[in-house]
Amino acid sequence: MTPDARPPRTRGVIALVEESCTVCMLCVRECPDWCIEIDSHTETLPPDDTHRRPRTNAVLDRFAIDFALCMYCGICVEVCPFDALHWSPVAEYAATSPDALVHERDRLASWEATVPPPSPLDPHGVVEDPGPRRPSPRG
């Protein structure tokens, strides 16, 4: 079965949207298989027009998923508060050594193009348009 013929919910591989990752470590800590590894550092941003004080910002250095350990439970995808992880139906990444099943951030990011669009809402989940909202008293 080609990836296109599989249902969109298929759990083939996990795609990473690097721009959405805030290095919160939730996926690493929730993973029951310990198969996600994140390296990061913090950098200090100087004050600018909108921030009067210096800020620290976590920067992602390494994001790797070991698909030799992964059991495809999807807890990391569920737990990510910023939608940085998505299921892709692509499963064609067999390898001849366990090391080659460790997908680093470049490879994880490359799967993003294969993530299907989100499925439409359940008919009963769509709320009818309540019309224009009343302006709030505080403006």
H-helix or E-strand spanning residue 29 = helix 26-30
Site size toward other proteins (CB under 8 A) is 17
Cα four-point dihedral sign 29, 83, 113, 126:
positive
CB of 68 to other proteins, least distance (A): 12
Q: Which is nearer to other proteins, 15 or 36 (CB)?
A: 36
**Between 8 and 81, CB nearer to other proteins:** 81
Ranges within 42-101 binding other proteins (CB under 8 A): 42, 56, 58
Residue 25 binds other proteins, judged by CB under 8 A: yes
Phi, psi of 36 (to 5 degrees): -105, 135
Q: Which two tokens stand for residue 120?
A: 């439409």
Contacts of 13 (CB under 8 A, 6+ apart): 67, 87, 88, 90, 91, 93, 103, 111, 114
Least gap, CB of 24 to other proteins (angstroms): 8
Site of interaction with other proteins (CB under 8 A): 23, 25, 28-32, 34, 36-42, 56, 58
